[in-house]
Amino acid sequence: MAKKKRNKSMMTAPSAKKYKSHDEQERGYIVAKKLLRHFDLDPKLLEIFTKRQRQALFTLGFDMPAVRAEREKTVPRRYVKTMHEEVFKFLKTNFWGAPENQLSYMELATQGVAFHTAIGNHLEDGKFEGVQEETARLIVDKFKTVKSIFHEPFVPLFEYLYRLTRSYSQVNFRLYGFYHDWERCGITALGFLSMRLKIYISVQENESKMIAHNNIERKAFRMIVTDAGNMLPLWILIRKTRIFPDAKKDDGFHIYIQSHVLHRFKERMDVLDPLARNLILQHSLSIGHKIIATDKQSYFVCWAEHGTPIGYFSFFINGDDLVINTFIHSFGERIYARRKSAVQIAKTH
């Protein structure tokens, strides 16, 4: 089932914030040169433009992204602070294009996108003449060779945020997602409007019910894909033909996971930290569906981050629900047994 797109809210009104022109111009000039080098253009082309034109081209029109909770007191402050720090770290330490050019995603998302927008607008408005116009058109045409410079730094950032929010999510407690919007955050020293990407961390409370199997009743939690960029939350379904190829109706089973599975998964995968376990569990049962069948039973594959199977989830069908009921460690049973034996030996000495 396709996820519905989230409607963007109205942008907030700009504040009276002003930016220092000199530092802004210097950073914008450096980033513009990096951007030209990325497209195999000579950075000296920028010298063709007049001082006034360069002031407009190098103005910071996009401020640094900010991370906030969607609603106060729904996300622990330490989580919001950590995610904010992780976003900045990711944008500053990952680079677009050749690493030796050192054009970070942060630079591209701020001064880079601002330069791209400004030179395109000036060309369209006829503010260049002669050689300046030819140079501006050369640069703008080069920019068009990529699908959208505007989205280049944000696609990998959103992929990273997807993993980050799922790492903090617990299917038996609370799940975190994110969506974004653009905010008018101020006026530059030259009077230009400044925009900022605002990332909101959202919360989805779990849904649970008691499900009995083999005369044992356990609490089970419904699996969900939470907010992802502009996509709204979506309860996870798996087509019935994935389980029963000859099924007459191809509607979906709701996926539930019993509390017993969470204990078993934690016990058998204790070599991983909780964040990694949360991510692997959700990935395997949401977007990473793969089912293998044996003579007696079918299983969901449990994936590690790089696509290596690390275990299997068994399940049973209960009406319109597919219920995960245990976790089987694929290659780690002997490792787990050795670790357990080593702990017991250590306790006796």
User: Looking at residues 242-271, what average pLDDT do you find?
Assistant: 88
Determine the Cα–Cα distance for residues 26 and 258; give it in Å rounded to an integer. 57
- Res 61: pLDDT: 74
Determine the Cα–Cα distance for residues 340 and 322; give it in Å rounded to an integer. 32
- Reported as a pLDDT band with limits 50, 70 and 90, residue 4 is low
Query: Would you say residue 83 has pLDDT above 60?
Result: yes
- Reported as a pLDDT band with limits 50, 70 and 90, residue 193 is low
Range in 92-101, 127-136, 232-241, 258-267 with the lowest mean pLDDT: 232-241
279-295 pLDDT tens trace: 888 888 887 678 888 77
Residue pair 185/60 in contact (Cβ under 8 Å)? The answer is: no
Residue pair 57/49 in contact (Cβ under 8 Å)? The answer is: yes
User: Looking at residues 111-134, what average pLDDT do you find?
Assistant: 92
- Reported as a pLDDT band with limits 50, 70 and 90, residue 341 is very low
Instruction: Please tell me which residue, 341 or 201, carries the higher pLDDT value.
Output: 201
Determine the Cα–Cα distance for residues 252 and 240; give it in Å rounded to an integer. 5
Run of H or E residues at 219: strand 216-222
Q: Taking CA 128 as the corner, what is the angle to CA 120 and CA 108, rounded to the nearest 5 degrees?
A: 30
- Reported as a pLDDT band with limits 50, 70 and 90, residue 64 is confident
- Reported as a pLDDT band with limits 50, 70 and 90, residue 247 is confident
- Res 189: pLDDT: 53
Determine the Cα–Cα distance for residues 237 and 201; give it in Å rounded to an integer. 24
Determine the Cα–Cα distance for residues 188 and 185; give it in Å rounded to an integer. 10
User: Looking at residues 162-182, what average pLDDT do you find?
Assistant: 91
Q: Which residue has the tokens 């703008």?
A: 140
DSSP assignment string, 263-295: HHHHHHTTTS-HHHHHHHHHHHHTT---EEE-S
CB atoms within 10 A of CB 25: 20
Long-range contacts of 308-311 (CB under 8 A, 24+ apart): 310/269, 310/280, 311/265, 311/268, 311/269
Per-residue DSSP letter, 331: S
Dig out the tokens for 189 from the structure.
Answer: 């020293």
| Domains in the chain, CATH or no CATH each | 21-205 (no CATH), 236-338 (3.30.2310)
Query: Would you say residue 10 has pLDDT above 60?
Result: no
Residue pair 253/221 in contact (Cβ under 8 Å)? The answer is: no
- Res 250: pLDDT: 76
User: Looking at residues 50-70, what average pLDDT do you find?
Assistant: 88
- Res 23: pLDDT: 79
Residue pair 157/178 in contact (Cβ under 8 Å)? The answer is: no
Residue 191 zone, left/alpha/beta (φ > 0; ψ -120 to 50; rest)? left
Query: Would you say residue 19 has pLDDT above 50?
Result: no
Percent of the chain topping pLDDT 90: 44
- Res 13: pLDDT: 39
Handedness of CA 130, 136, 138, 140 (dihedral sign): negative
Q: Model's pTM, two decimal places?
A: 0.79
Instruction: Please tell me which residue, 267 or 150, carries the higher pLDDT value.
Output: 267
Nearest to 63 by CA among 14, 8, 124: 14
- Res 322: pLDDT: 94
